[in-house]
């Protein structure tokens, strides 16, 4: 069954000019790009997107980081998209990520880890809809 997942190339990815490299790896892994844009999240928008983490110790730092510069939300689709994307990007902490994963190759630390990926098919749908209307998805 086709699933949607959301990738966000985070501000550290854009700052390091790695967008093309990460997108190439995503496409090589068989994902179809349904929509992509570059924008700068406000603290309010970042806070709303990560509201599920509100009250956790890392929430304020995450909101601060995600609103610190441009990022690129990317709507992706393929069979088993959520699990496959999480495998492609690797563990949240690059020290724990498998060799060859996006985070192992490019991330500096757990807080600045290059890319966001949805954690379930349900959240994939919700997160894609947060950034893209259906008419923006091709």
Instruction: Please state, as a whole number, how many other Cβ atoms lie within 10 Å of the Cβ of residue 115.
Output: 26
Angle of the 121-131 helix axis to the 81-89 helix axis, nearest 10? 80
Question: Residue 137 is encoded by which pair of tokens?
Answer: 């998805």
Judge residue 80's burial from the number of C-beta atoms within 10 Å of its C-beta, 0-12 exposed, 13-18 middle, 19 or more buried. middle
In the sheet that holds 115-117, the strands lie side by side as: 32-36, 72-79, 2-9, 115-117
Q: Are strands 115-117 and 72-79 parallel, antiparallel or unpaired?
A: unpaired
Q: Which of 10, 25, 103, 116 is catalytic?
A: 116
Among this protein's residues, is 116 annotated catalytic?
Answer: yes
Catalytic residue numbers?
A: 116
């Amino acid at each position: 069954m086709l699933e949607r997942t959301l990738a966000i190339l985070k501000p550290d990815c854009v700052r390091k000019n790695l967008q093309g490299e990460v997108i190439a790896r995503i496409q090589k892994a068989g994902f179809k790009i349904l929509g992509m844009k570059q924008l700068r999240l406000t603290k309010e928008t970042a806070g709303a997107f990560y509201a599920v983490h509100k009250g956790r110790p890392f929430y304020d730092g995450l909101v601060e980081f995600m609103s610190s510069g441009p990022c690129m939300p990317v709507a992706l689709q393929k069979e088993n998209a959520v699990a496959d994307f999480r495998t492609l990007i690797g563990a949240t902490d690059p020290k724990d990520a498998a060799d060859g994963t996006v985070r192992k190759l490019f991330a500096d630390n757990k807080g600045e880890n290059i890319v966001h990926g949805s954690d379930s098919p349900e959240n994939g749908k919700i997160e894609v809809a947060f950034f893209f209307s259906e008419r923006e998805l091709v």
